[in-house]
Structure 1
Amino acid sequence: MKSKVITALEAAALIPDNAIVTVSSASALGCPDATLAGIGAHFATTGHPKNLTMLHPIAAGDMYGVKGIDHIARPGLLGKILAGSYPSGPSSSEPPEIWKMIGANAIPAYNIPSGILFDMHREAAAKRPGVITKVGLDTFADPDRQGCAMNDAAAAEPVVEKIQFRGEEWLFFPSVIPNVAIIRATTADERGNLTFEHEGAYLGPMDQALSVRNNGGIVIAQVKRITEAGTLKPLDVHVPGILVDHIVVAPDQWQTCQTPYEPAISGEIFRPMSSFEVPAFDIAKVIARRVALELHQGWAVNIGFGISANVPRILIEEGRHGDVTWMIEQGAVGGVPLLDFQFGCASNAEAIVPSPHQFVYFQGGGFDCSLLSFLQIDQSGSVNVSRLAARPHVTAGAGGFVDITARARRIVFSGYFNAGAKFSIEDGAVAIEKEGKVKKLVPEVEHVSFSGRRAIQQGQDVTYVTERCVMKLTPEGVMVTEIAPGFDLERDILGQSEFPLLVAKDLKTSPARLYQPGLIGLKLDRVVHG
C-alpha cells in the first residue's frame, strides 16, 4: 500500500495554479495551519500556486498565533476569497494581511453566510446548480444591498442573484466547484480514514471533501498522528479514507485559539461545574442577568459572542444549569459554551454535530431562541454585527449570524447603548460616570446583518437588552418597554438615540435584584418548545 503521507511543501506543490481551494476551519479551531503555511512557503520560493480562489465556510486563522489565511494573503498567490468570516482583533493591533488586501481592493472578497457556504458545497458535490434560499434577504447578502461583496473588486463579480420561483422572491447562490480541499482531524490511519478525538468540533470536512472528490479534485488532510490501517473503530471515523488523497502530519497543531489541547473541549473528560468562573459583578453582568430573564426552562438556545456569551455562567451561578440547552454554530449542543479565545467550543457538551447540520437546524428555525450581540441598531430594528467602516479588521464578518437569525422564533440582542460609556453601580442603581462618544442606535446601520423589516413580516419576537433599557421591535418601530434604575428616560435614552424611540404606555422598571452583588434567585418558567 502506497503511503498517503506527504509534507506540507509537497502538498502545496500538488495545488495547481488558478485552483479553487476549500479549507475547513473556524478561526483557530480545526485550522490546518501547517498545510496553509506550506502553501505560502512554496509560493515564496517557486511562485506557485498562483491566483487561488479560497473558500472558508467559517474562517481560517486568528490574530493570536494561528495565521491561517494570512499565510496565503500575498499578491499573486491569492486571487479571490469567499468566507463566512475573517480574522479579527483589537483596533490597536496591526490589521491581518487579508484585511490589508481587502481594503486595498487587491482581490475580490466576499462575506457569505456560513450556512449558505456549506450548502454551496453540498450542491457542488451533488452536481446541482446552486442554493435557492430566503436566508439573507434584505441583508448585506441581498443583491439589492451589497450582495456579499466586501469591496469594489467583489461588487464587479456578483456571487448571488435574486430570482422569482413559484411566485416568491429568493436568493440564488450558484455552486462554486472546488478543486482542492484542505481539512483537519486528529488521527489518520494508513488508508486515510480520519477520526476527530482531540478536536473541539467536526466543522464541515465531510461536505468539503465530497464536493472536491465528486468533481475530480484532491483532498489533503492534516492530522496530529498516523495509526495502522484497520485500527480505527468505524463509528469513530467521520471522513472515510476513500475521500482522502494525501495526509500531512503536524504533531503540534493547536486544538483552538491559544489552546494547544484541553480534553474537556473534545469531550474526553467533563469538568466539575465548580471549575467554571462566574462573571464579576459589573454592568456587563447586569445585562447578562437581564437577558437570562428572557429564557424558559426546556428551551434550545443558540448563543453568540459578546455579553450574551456570559449568560450560561449566570445560570451556573444561580444553580439553573441544564434548564436550557445551549447550541453554537461550530456544532456543540449542550454543556457550557466557552469564552474569549476558546469561544466556539464547549465543555461538557451533550453532543457535537457537524456544522452543516447545525446550520440546517438554525436556517429552518427549529430552535427556541438566540442570544446575540449588536454593533448598531437602526430605526427599522435592523442590526449590524458584520462591518464598521472605521474599524473593518475589528469586525470579523457575519459568520453564521445571518443563517441563525433568518427564521429564529425569538432573538435577544444585547450590548451597550453607546460605545465607550463608563458606569458605576451603587445602592441598586446605575450611574453614568462618562457618556459614550459613539452612538449605537443610528438612523440606518452601515451593514444590515439582521433585517428588522423581514422580522416584522415573519412575526419574529425581537428584544434588545442594554444597560439602560429593554426595547422591543414592533410594527411601528423600536419601543422602550423597560428602564433600568438610575437612568433618566429623556436624557439617557431618548436623547442618546439618533432616531426617535417609542415608549410603552406601561413602561416598567427593571427588577432591583439585578443590581445587587448577590444571587438574584433566577427561576425559569417551564415552556417546552413554545
Structure 2
Amino acid sequence: MVQSLNANDLAREIPDGSTIALVGFGGMGQCDKILRAIGQNYKETGKPNDLTVFHTAGQSDKSNGIEHIAEEGLISRVIGGHWGLAPKIRKLIEENKIDCYCWPQGQLTHLLRAMANKLPGQISPVGLGTFVDPRVEGGKFNERTKAKEDLVQMITISNEEFLLYPSIPFDYVFIRGTSIDENGNITTEEEPLKLEILSAAHATKAYGGKVIAQVKYLVNKETLHPKNVVVPGYLVDAFVLVEDAVTEHRQIPSAVFDPVFSGDVRTSLESLAPIELDIRKVIGRRAVQELTSSSAVINLGIGIPGDVIGPIINEEGLNDRITLTLESGIIGGIPLGANEFGVARNADAILDHEYLFDYYHGAGVDLTFMGAAEVDQIGNVNVSKFGTRTVGCGGFIDITQSAKKVVFCTTFTGGGLKTSIHNGKLHILQEGTIKKFTNYVNQISFSGKYATDHSKDVMYITERAVFVLTKAGLELKEVAPGIDLVKDILNQMDFKPIISPSLKEMDYSIFEDKSMNIKYN
C-alpha cells in the first residue's frame, strides 16, 4: 500500500542541498499544499536550504506554486522556462540572490524523457542563435550565473549543430493528480491539464529519487479504470492528501473545480460576448487574416495572442475550420488567456504536455501567433528579458523556431500608449514612451538570422503597421488607416525599415466594430 505523508513531515524530511522538480503550468497543476509546507518550514527552522529547483513551464499565477518557496537561502539555483507570473522568484533572480538558468520549455519537457532513459541529456537544434546558445549567453539569466559553469553545450553531429541540454538528477519530484488508489495509481480526472507528470516520475526514478503526489481523493484499490491511470503505482513513493481544495488544490485560479475545464462538460460558445474593439483586438484581427487555410494547425502564445485570437476566431465562426493548440497540451476550444493561459473551454483533446511539443518540434505548426517585446533591424525578437526584468522564454523558442510561419503580435510602442478607433481609422492620442522597434534587442529569444537562413515566413503585426522579414531586414508592407507614415511609424523606430514598393493600407474591416466576414478560398 502506498505511503500517506503529512506535508509538514515531508518538508522536514528533505535534506539540504537537494534537487527538487516541480510540475505545473501557470496557475494550474502545482502542489500548493506541499510547497506551502516547505516554505513555512524554512521560515521556522531554516531547513531545507540550498535547494536546486527544476521546472518546465511557469509555476505560478502571481501567488501560488513556486512563490511558496521563493525565499533567499531556501533556493540556491533554479532551472526553468518562465517566471513572468512569479514576482517573488523573479525578484530573487533579478537581485542575484540565486543562480538561474533559463531553457526552452519544450526542451525541458523532453529532457525528462531523456533522463528517464539515463541519457546524458536532450539533443536538439532548438535554441541555436538565441540567448540559450552557449556562444551567446548559454541560458545564464542573471549576472550571478554568468560566472558559473556552462550547462548547455554546443555539439556537432554529421556536420550539423545541436545543443545538448544536460540531465539534472532529481532527489524529489512533486506531481499532482486527482485520485490515488491504495496501490499508488494516479488519475487526473478533475485536472485541467495532464502536463508531464508521467515523464517527470520516470525521470526521477531513473536516478533513485522519490516521487511524491498531491491528490484530492484516496480510493480503494482496483476501483480506477486502467485507461484513466496516468501514473502507475510502482512509480509513486508517497502521497499528500488535500484537506482544503480551495486553498491547496484549485483547478484553475478562478475556480476550485469547473467540469468545463476538465473536459466533462461543453458550454455554449454563442453565449460568449465579443471582446471590445481596441488595439489588442485590432492586432489580433489582422493576425487572424493570415489564416488562409481551413486545415491549418495553429499555436497561440501568451499575451495578445492567447488573450484575443481565440475569441476573435469564435466571433468570426472559424472554430470548426482550424485546429487551435496551446503548448500546455490543449487541442481546440476557446482559450481563457491572461493568468489562466493554457486552459480552454470546450477542448477537443488534452494531451500530455511533452507530447504536443513532439508535434511542435517535428512537423511544426502551420502558423504560430506570438507576442514580442522588442524587435530589431534584422528581425530578432526579445520576449524573455527587459533590462533587469527576467521573464523567461517559456515555449516561445521551441515553437517559433519550428513553425512553418511565425506571426508576432505587439503594440508598436509601449509605456503609456493611448489610441482611439472610429470611422474605420486609428488615431494616436498619446504615444508610448518605449520604442519597441530598436537597433538591437536586449536578448535574442528569436533569431532573425536563423529564420532567414532557413527561409522562414515571418511577420510582425502591430496596431498601425505590418512588417515581413527579408534577408535585408524588416520590410514595411501595410499602414493602418488614419496613421501618418513618418510621424507615427518611422519617427517611432530606432532604425529605418525597407519600405515596400507596394505599401498599402491595412484592411478597413479590422477597424470596424462588426464581423470581418473572413472567407477561405
Superposed, 1:22-421 pairs within 5 Å as: 22-63=21-62, 65-66=63-64, 68-88=65-85, 96-155=87-146, 156-250=148-242, 251-252=244-245, 253-295=249-291, 296-309=293-306, 310-389=308-387, 392=389, 396-419=391-414, 420-421=416-417
For residue 100 of structure 1, report the CA deviation from its aligned partner.
Answer: 2.5
Deviations 1:62-116 (A, max 9, x none): 31x42x2222222332121101111527xxxxxx332222122121111111111
For residue 278 of structure 1, report the CA deviation from its aligned partner.
Answer: 2.0
Letter in 1 for 2:200: Q
Letter in 2 for 1:245: D
For residue 275 of structure 1, report the CA deviation from its aligned partner.
Answer: 2.9
Query: Partner of 1:358: helix, strand, or coil?
Result: helix
Candidates 442, 453, 457, aligned match of 2:438: 442
Deviations 1:140-169 (A, max 9, x none): 111122211111222222211222222122
Candidates 506, 509, 512, aligned match of 2:505: 509
Query: Partner of 2:144: helix, strand, or coil?
Result: helix
Query: Partner of 1:102: helix, strand, or coil?
Result: helix
Q: Does the CA-based 8 Å contact 2:26-2:85 persist in structure 1?
A: no
Query: Partner of 2:437: helix, strand, or coil?
Result: coil
* Count of aligned pairs: 513
Q: Does the CA-based 8 Å contact 2:267-2:346 persist in structure 1?
A: yes
Deviations 1:358-390 (A, max 9, x none): 112112243211011110100110111111115
For residue 46 of structure 1, report the CA deviation from its aligned partner.
Answer: 3.4
Q: Does the CA-based 8 Å contact 1:371-1:412 persist in structure 2?
A: yes
**Which whole-Å CA distance do the structure 2 matches of 1:217 and 1:168 have between them?**
35
Query: Partner of 2:354: helix, strand, or coil?
Result: helix
Q: CA RMSD in A?
A: 1.5
Q: Does the CA-based 8 Å contact 1:323-1:524 persist in structure 2?
A: no
For residue 520 of structure 1, report the CA deviation from its aligned partner.
Answer: 1.5
Match of residue 3 from structure 2: 4
Q: Does the CA-based 8 Å contact 1:54-1:81 persist in structure 2?
A: yes
Match of residue 528 from structure 1: none
**Which whole-Å CA distance do the structure 1 matches of 2:173 and 2:222 have between them?**
24
Q: Does the CA-based 8 Å contact 1:5-1:249 persist in structure 2?
A: yes
Task: Confirm whether residue 480 of structure 1 aligns to residue 471 of structure 2.
Answer: no
Distance 1:410 1:87, change over 3 A: closer
Query: Partner of 1:403: helix, strand, or coil?
Result: helix
**Which whole-Å CA distance do the structure 2 matches of 1:172 and 1:107 have between them?**
23
* Higher mean displacement: 150-159 or 219-228: 150-159
Q: TM-score w.r.t. structure 1 length?
A: 0.94
Q: Does the CA-based 8 Å contact 1:485-1:512 persist in structure 2?
A: yes
Q: Does the CA-based 8 Å contact 2:20-2:172 persist in structure 1?
A: yes
Query: Partner of 1:366: helix, strand, or coil?
Result: coil
* Higher mean displacement: 240-249 or 341-350: 341-350
Superposed, 1:484-499 pairs within 5 Å as: 484-499=480-495
Deviations 1:307-357 (A, max 9, x none): 222112112112222211110111001111112232110111111111111
For residue 257 of structure 1, report the CA deviation from its aligned partner.
Answer: 2.4
**Which whole-Å CA distance do the structure 1 matches of 2:42 and 2:51 have between them?**
11
**Which whole-Å CA distance do the structure 2 matches of 1:396 and 1:258 have between them?**
23
For residue 4 of structure 1, report the CA deviation from its aligned partner.
Answer: 1.6
Deviations 1:36-69 (A, max 9, x none): 1111222233332221111011122231x42x22
Q: Does the CA-based 8 Å contact 1:82-1:112 persist in structure 2?
A: yes
Deviations 1:197-235 (A, max 9, x none): 111111111111001112111100001111111111000
Deviation above 4 Å: which 4+ runs of structure 1?
A: none
Query: Partner of 1:79: helix, strand, or coil?
Result: strand
Q: Does the CA-based 8 Å contact 2:335-2:345 persist in structure 1?
A: yes
Q: TM-score w.r.t. structure 2 length?
A: 0.96
* Higher mean displacement: 307-316 or 371-380: 307-316
**Which whole-Å CA distance do the structure 2 matches of 1:372 and 1:412 have between them?**
6
Deviations 1:1-24 (A, max 9, x none): 4x5211111222332221111110
Q: Does the CA-based 8 Å contact 1:108-1:154 persist in structure 2?
A: yes
**Which whole-Å CA distance do the structure 1 matches of 2:512 and 2:111 have between them?**
49
**Which whole-Å CA distance do the structure 2 matches of 1:516 and 1:73 have between them?**
46
* Higher mean displacement: 131-140 or 358-367: 358-367
Q: Does the CA-based 8 Å contact 2:85-2:339 persist in structure 1?
A: no
Query: Partner of 1:238: helix, strand, or coil?
Result: strand
**Which whole-Å CA distance do the structure 1 matches of 2:451 and 2:508 have between them?**
31
**Which whole-Å CA distance do the structure 2 matches of 1:141 and 1:110 have between them?**
9
Query: Partner of 1:229: helix, strand, or coil?
Result: coil
**Which whole-Å CA distance do the structure 2 matches of 1:512 and 1:457 have between them?**
34
